[in-house]
Structure 1
């Protein structure tokens, strides 16, 4: 399977010059499939957590966004039980100018600023809206339980 030059270049850059708190490595048997870890950002309820994700580049990439999901359980209004992520650049705001690196940095930023007004997990969003302190406490507990 030959890869487009762009994917090869992006992969080389990710490995040689990883973004802070993020690592991404392609599988040997499928270079479109990446194992990703993102460290929970300081100042967020996910601090000290290490979250595992999978990222897959579809055939249409970069005209279509990568498919990304959390493998580590997380209590976050924009991430559902299946690990799917509600993030505009993974849907209608995708542009071929964006890169894997940009996507991973955006996901890391989403951990710092949950958006209960655009939820994927309605129950968690409701919790964040009705009692943010308690929702943050639960997010911290899940981080300790599942991401360490």
Structure 2
């Protein structure tokens, strides 16, 4: 756990000194294993103007196991579950895809990138993915409405 703590602290400092566009981070109660994240919706996306709250949990054996990232703000997105868990389907976070060389900053950049370009072929919400592929205007309209309603 001491190794994980050192690595997390170092990565946190790197993120603080090289601010990621549209991303704010803050450990919860000085616990470096639990972070509140704020993502602002990219301007050329249906999420523009929204601020999304996420929760990042780092395992005791980080970086050998991936972090868990979940949306606390409701979002209409094929790669985020529409339940109270807000689970995110992000390839890099799968145990079989995660490598100890991966960093938290990359995870956060990829999460924000999914707001710009969803991946309907790796969806948690099949019906939203289908709508994204076949009726994109309808998807974007609903995503904008949800952003206005929930991502204040």
Question: Structure 1-normalised TM-score?
Answer: 0.93
**Partner of 2:90 in structure 1?**
87
Cα distance in 2 for partners of 1:29, 1:5 equals: 14
Matched-pair contact (CA < 8 Å) for 1:27–1:34: yes
Deviations 1:100-141 (A, max 9, x none): 111000000011111112110112112212311101110011
SS at match of 1:47: coil
Deviation at residue 29 of structure 1 after TM alignment: 4.6
SS at match of 1:4: helix
SS at match of 1:23: strand
Root mean square deviation of aligned Cα = 1.4
Structure 2 residue runs without a partner (length 5+): none
Cα distance in 2 for partners of 1:27, 1:15 equals: 15
**Partner of 1:107 in structure 2?**
111
Instruction: Say yes or no: does 1:142 pair with 2:146.
Output: yes
Structure 1 residue runs without a partner (length 5+): none
SS at match of 1:137: helix
Aligned length: 148
Deviation at residue 43 of structure 1 after TM alignment: 0.7
Cα distance in 1 for partners of 2:67, 2:108 equals: 10
The 4+ residue runs of structure 1 with deviation greater than 6 A are none
**Partner of 2:66 in structure 1?**
65
Deviations 1:50-90 (A, max 9, x none): 10000010012101110110000000001111311111101
Return the match for 1:121 from 119, 125, 133: 125
